[in-house]
Amino acid sequence: MRYVEIPVPEAYELQNAGGLVLVCTRGPDGRYDLAPAAWCCPLDYSPVSKLILVLDTGHRTYADLSDSGEFAVALPTKAQVDLVKRTGSMSGHDRDKFAELAIPAFSARVVDARIPEGVAGWLECRLSRIVVEGTSGVVMGEVLRAEAVPDAWKHRVHYVREGLWFAPGDGL
């Protein structure tokens, strides 16, 4: 093996599987929001599944879930990369993404969130705890309910960094 040194600010990419999710929330003003997050991973599975999101504390979705104590993570597919890019390039602080982008969506089953149609699945979560490190909020959630198509992982899209995406079985 020939190794090259990786600059420290890029080291996170070495372990960023980037299984992309769309964080879906509702704010105290009643407006729904959604934002992509590539930094999401499992935290526990017994007796229930838990997950971790790393969200910038400036995001509207972060403010929403801190306030409401609940959120959903939806699993976008390869066909939804455009939706991911659009929802990731505007903030719900000053824009209504669902209305502006005319995103078809349905209600989550047990938390108050809108799930975009066409996702491979989604997990509905109760907020367990947040640990703030700098401007990053490490958000821990307990899964209350989940639904997905069979073999959902095959349909998911992954994001490593700007311009570098991949999906199971192809080089997106």
Ligand X SMILES: Cc1cc2nc3c(=O)[nH]c(=O)nc-3n(C[C@H](O)[C@H](O)[C@H](O)COP(=O)(O)O)c2cc1C
Q: Answer for the pair 172, 164: CB distance below 8 angstroms, yes or no.
A: no
Does 83 contact ligand X by CB under 6 A? no
Closest distance of CB 2 from ligand X, Å:
30
Give residues with Cβ within 8 angstroms of 31, minimum separation 6: 92, 96
**Residue window 54-73: x/- pattern of binding to ligand X, with contact defined by CB under 6 A:** xxx--xxx------------
Does 80 contact ligand X by CB under 6 A? no
Residue 167: closest CA among 94, 80, 102: 80
Closest distance of CB 4 from ligand X, Å:
26
Cα(128)–Cα(146) distance, integer angstroms:
17
**Nearest residue to ligand X, scored by beta-carbon proximity:** 88
Closest distance of CB 116 from ligand X, Å:
14
Does 88 contact ligand X by CB under 6 A? yes
What distances in angstroms separate CA 65 from CA 15, 17, 54, 89, 125, one per listed residue? 26, 24, 13, 19, 10
Residues lying near ligand X in the complex (CB under 6 A): 20, 33, 35-39, 54-56, 59-61, 84-85, 88, 90-93, 159
